[in-house]
Amino acid sequence: MQLYAYDAGQCDPKKCTAKKLARAGVIKLVKTLRDIPYKTILLAPTAEKALSLADRKYTNSITVFDCSWHEIADFEDILRKLKVKKRALPYLIAANPVNYGKPFILSSAEAFATALFILGEQEQSERIMCKFKWGTEFLRLNNERLRAYARAKDSSEVVEIQRRFMDNMKKAK
């Protein structure tokens, strides 16, 4: 699976997981929107559909929109205009040092790993996370969720599984 990250130029280069993956030759950074592959799946938190294994047949690439979580709203219009398949990732817990323990606020590396896992590319997912000291913790922390989402047949089933995980978290509190 080919991996791309649109670089919005907002990350601290020392902490940016997309830049680290690009330096390692694992992903390609793109600087302009027209460089985003037409048949890619763009991971966007505001997408209307959740990523599922059913999306695998549409593409051989994944693209993340690498920008600050604090600035994502500024890119809503741009994301809406892009003519690619947009998918949201389901409920997972971040393990990166900046957002450890926070739900949904994943780094670009965690987003890539999640998408790869759901799309049946578990080995590539693990190889990405091995590039980070905390990478195996992300996979361990989310193991049950990742496996459940990877078994879902479509987006609606992913959303239903997500709802159950979130309900269980509320009950545990």
Confidence of residue 51 (pLDDT cuts 50, 70, 90): very high
Which amino acid, residue 50? Answer: A
Region 155-160 average pLDDT? 97
Phi, psi dihedrals of residue 17, rounded to the nearest 5°: -70, -30
DSSP state of 148: H
Residue 69: pLDDT band (50, 70, 90) is low
**Mean pLDDT to the nearest integer, 66-78:** 64
Q: Which residue, among 69, 139, 79, 73, has the nearest Cα to 107 in the 3D structure?
A: 69
Model confidence pLDDT, tens digit, residues 125-144: 999 999 999 999 999 999 99
What global pTM score does this model have?
A: 0.91
Q: Which residues of 137-170 are buried (b: 16+ CB within 10 A; e: fewer)?
A: ebbebbeebbebbbebeebebbbebbeebeeeee
Q: What is the pLDDT of residues 73-110, one digit of tens each?
A: 666 666 667 778 889 999 999 999 999 999 999 999 99
Residue 6: the pLDDT is 87
Give the pLDDT of residue 75.
66
Residue 132: name the closest of 5, 43, 17, 46 by CA. 17
| pLDDT tens readout for residues 8-17 | 776 777 788 9
Q: What is the pLDDT of residues 13-30, one digit of tens each?
A: 778 899 999 999 999 999
